[in-house]
Chain A
Amino acid sequence: MSSTRETWKSNLGFVLAAAGSAIGLGAIWRLPYTMGQNGGGAFILLFLLLNFVVGVPLFMAELVLGRSGQRGTVSCFRRFAATGSMWVAGGWLAAAAALLILGWYCVVAGWGIHYTLMALVDAFAGKSADQVAQLFHAFRASGLLNVLFQSLFLLLTALIVSRGLAAGIERYSRVMTLGLFAMLLCLVLYGAMLPGFAQAVRYIFVPNWSAITPATVLEALGLALFTLSLGYGPIITYGSYMKPSQNIPQTSLIIGVANFAVSLLIAMAIFPLIFSFGFAPTAGEGLVFQILPFVFEQLPMAMLLCVLFFALLIFTSLTSAISFLEVLVTNCMDLLNWSRQRSVWVGCAAAFVVGLPTALAPSGNLFGLWPDIYGKSFLETSNVVINWLTAFAALITSLFVGWHLPNHIRHEGFCSGSHWGKLYVAWLWCVRVVVPFAVSMILSWHCGLFEPFLRAF
């Protein structure tokens, strides 16, 4: 089985696929805002530090686990753990997180398709900011339209994943991630010509040390993990297709840097637009689907800009969504011995069902009482659950790779194909001690154990 497993055709293809998986919707609508709000340059430095002490080592650990395991997330753990051991929970948690996130990704990315369509038919022309915002609400209220675009996006994802690794995931991820870089550069260049650019640069880069509190540190820590797609399983899964000759430490560092650079570029693409029209910085769907379409409409080459931006959004989500679907697909193929086709369609059906409450939320047809009861929408609730799942999965993965994986397998996994063997010991102790400590900090923070302490600040 492991001898006939597919492998990446080129190292570049793998790097682009992994980077595409890590750069997701969060990188577009949350990261730039979080940077700006939490002290700009100071936060960036903190984020960089934590990225390289916590994020990248764990990224390497997931790749090592995947390449040594040569299977899906569950079977990777199962292969190196005693039968019936609780370590396997790490694989299941990751798979569950992948399913939950794929569920809402398809809905939100479906909105991206819808907005591309609107841009193409010039539906925003001559509308005021309020009217553009209204259009979003009108669209959300229609359950049928939401489900239509959700299904469309799922179909796209399924088509790519069903073609297999080299001909599907690698090929399309490569094209789309490169396309994403190109579009992003265009948007940044465009943004540099706008009057709000100076203000945006100040907002993003000027360090404000007083904004750094323990809460900010934990925020940066969480981002360092979650902006690298850690804990969902894509990295383990993508790692399982790696050749022994590929250089894990080097690739991980490259991806860590690329991911960070893209976040900065996205911030520099979005904030000049926002500041030029006097909007306050925000995050989330409001930014992407209500403010930006209006802003584009005011600028020269409105339609091109708008289409470019939403194509970027679709590409970003598609490269992430295929990696989430692939997590489910490899698990189904390993555990149930299904064919790839069958696993893809079952995975998509599951994601469709999980996404339905989000797609139908404002129409009130499904779980109309959800926000009243939980105080959050279904999407936000599932994000909370995903955060918990991934935090536990990351914790289990780091402990598993750091302490439980047999020494020679771990060493071989890290050093194979690499001349960076002297980093091994440093990496090992990061994975053994620093990462678990950092993740437990995040978990205790979620639990509210730091509340009295934080209140003192």
Chain B
Amino acid sequence: MQAETREQWQSQIGFLLSCVGSIVGLGTLWRLPYIMGQNGGGAFICLFLLFNLLVGIPLFAAELVLGRAGRRGSIGIFARLSAPNSAWVCLGWLNAAGALLVFSWYSVVAGWGFHYLLMALTDALHGKSAAQVGELFDLFRGSGQLNLLFQVMFLITVAVLVLPGIASGIERYSRFMSLGLFAVLLGLVGYSCTLKGFSQAVHYALYPNFAALSAHGALKALGLSLFSLSLGFGMTLTYGSYMKPTEDIPKVSLAIGAANLLVTVLIALMIFPMIFTFGFEPQDGEGLIFKTLPFVFGQLPASLLLSLLFFMLLLFTALTSAVAMLEALVANLMDLRGWSRGRCVLCGCLAGWVIGLPTAVVDLFPTWSYIYGRDFFATIDLLTDWMLVVAALATAIFVGWKLDATVRHEGFVAGSRLTWLYQPWLFFIRFVVPCCVVVILLQYLGLLWFV
């Protein structure tokens, strides 16, 4: 009965922007452009586009179909669409667990965004050398209290955005922030065009260099087509569950895939000119965002404005994704426990806070790095990668082979004029996606090795 009164997205554009916001995350900002550049630029983009069409987007559409047909949180969806007591419900739990883990480290890392926003406001980075900027980051990382402060600040912000519900909370704010993200991104790209490293950056990021494209790079493109669309964390499932039957899933999925690629290219065109102008090597990860770029901003004219804009962009990116993760948890809690939204938001944030603690306070488990060979943060990252791949494989099999054929067909074509895409899509979901994901899995297991 609850399904009948479930909230819905108010407008298609709001839904699109919320989805784009949810998949454009920190990874898009700090990893994607780098991998693109290292693996042959334009050549990699072609391959990435291809895998997106073959694997990523079909799976994305599959999650939306599942969500819209299930009209619940990730766990409820699989409980409703599979046989009673079937083991497929575990897949819903896997999705929820993935969302929780990613949410927890997001809350910490995006909290650093607040920290840097504050640093920008107080002009604390102005005139510092690259080494000093790096030291400041390490100093900040060592202070558990400060990390906790900003983590809590970020969690409160996310909670405030999710609290009013789908249409008046998530949709409204995601729409605003995603548009803001595009605007700021375009502004910064415009600025980067005027830098002298721009042509080198264009060459690095876009020139199709097929010689630099190895089999390993191809596998990366395959993996990224999954990761960059945030599949397997329950976010798309949950967002899909609020869709109207009149909305066009195939079209929406294609549009979102295209927007994702566009944003990635724009981010590359924003970051690399700055990096190259100051003679840095391309790199990825936190070092790029929190050490190199702040230094670069400090050297450019209007540094305060630049760093403000950039860290606002970082926050918008992180917030629109974190909102989706929290909603994935909240939707599940509301289904399973029948709690009010406010209570679920509170519980979701508390859970995210507790799991994020070891990331925020590095000396909580002092021997973690020694024992696991990587810090807690990197461990979670790796763990979620695993969960994502397994969840993607299982979702493809579930939709392709287990889901009731009428539900699947109805779910895909409802509201769409692209009905001819159904057969190709089904073929991809049944054969291509599982095969590709198995290849990724084999690579993860170390069974597939390219020299």
Contacts and interface: CB of A to CB of B under 8 A. Distances in A.
A367 B149 contact: yes
Given A84-B168, A369-B146, A374-B118, 5 more contacts: A375-B122, A447-B305, A448-B303, A448-B304, A449-B305
Contacts of A451: 301
21 contacts: A84-B168, A86-B176, A366-B145, A367-B143, A367-B145, A367-B146, A369-B139, A369-B146, A373-B119, A373-B124, A373-B136, A373-B143, A373-B146, A374-B118, A374-B119, A376-B122, A381-B122, A384-B121, A384-B122, A447-B304, A447-B305
A446 interface: yes
A381 B124 CA distance: 10
Nearest to B136: A373
A182 B308 CA distance: 46
Interface in B133-153: 136, 139-140, 142-143, 145-146, 149
B1 interface: no
Interface in A365-397: 366-370, 372-376, 380-381, 384-385, 388
A278 interface: no
Interface in B156-175: 168, 172
Nearest to A83: B168
Contacts of A372: 139
B451 interface: no
A300 interface: no
Contacts of A384: 121-122
Given A367-B145, A373-B143, A373-B146, A447 B302 contact: yes
> Which of B123, B149, B308 is the most central at the interface, judged by chain A CB atoms within 10 Å of its CB?
B123
B124 A376 contact: yes
Contacts of A374: 118-119, 122, 124
Nearest to A86: B176
B146 A370 contact: yes
Interface string A57-93: 0000000000000000000000000001010000000
Interface string B303-317: 111001000000000
A248 B23 CA distance: 52
Interface centre among A367, A373, A451, A452 (most CB of B within 10 A): A373
Interface of A: 84, 86, 366-370, 372-376, 380-381, 384-385, 388, 446-449, 451-452
A43 B290 CA distance: 42
B177 to A, nearest CB: 12
Contact of A373 (B123, B139, B304): B139
A370 B122 CA distance: 12
B156 to A, nearest CB: 12
Contact of A452 (B143, B172, B301): B301
Interface string B110-123: 00000000110111
A149 B313 CA distance: 41
Contacts of A447: 302, 304-305, 308
B140 A369 contact: yes
Which 5 A-B residue pairs are closest in the complex by CB-CB distance? A447-B305, A369-B143, A448-B304, A375-B124, A374-B124
B146 A381 contact: no
B140 A84 contact: no
Given A367-B149, A385-B118, A373 B140 contact: yes
Contacts of A84: 168, 172
Nearest to A370: B146
Contacts of A449: 302, 305
Nearest to B308: A447
- Listed residue (A376, A448, A449) with the most chain B CB atoms within 10 angstroms of its CB: A448
Contacts of A446: 304
B55 to A, nearest CB: 38
A367 B149 CA distance: 9
A93 to B, nearest CB: 14
Nearest to B172: A84
A448 B305 contact: yes
A366 B305 CA distance: 30
A376 B119 CA distance: 10
A108 to B, nearest CB: 19
A444 to B, nearest CB: 9
Contacts of A86: 176
Nearest to A383: B122
Contacts of B145: 366-368
B418 to A, nearest CB: 33
A385 B168 CA distance: 28
Nearest to B309: A447
A376 B303 CA distance: 19
Nearest to A380: B122
Interface string B291-309: 0000000000111110010
Contacts of B146: 367, 369-370, 373
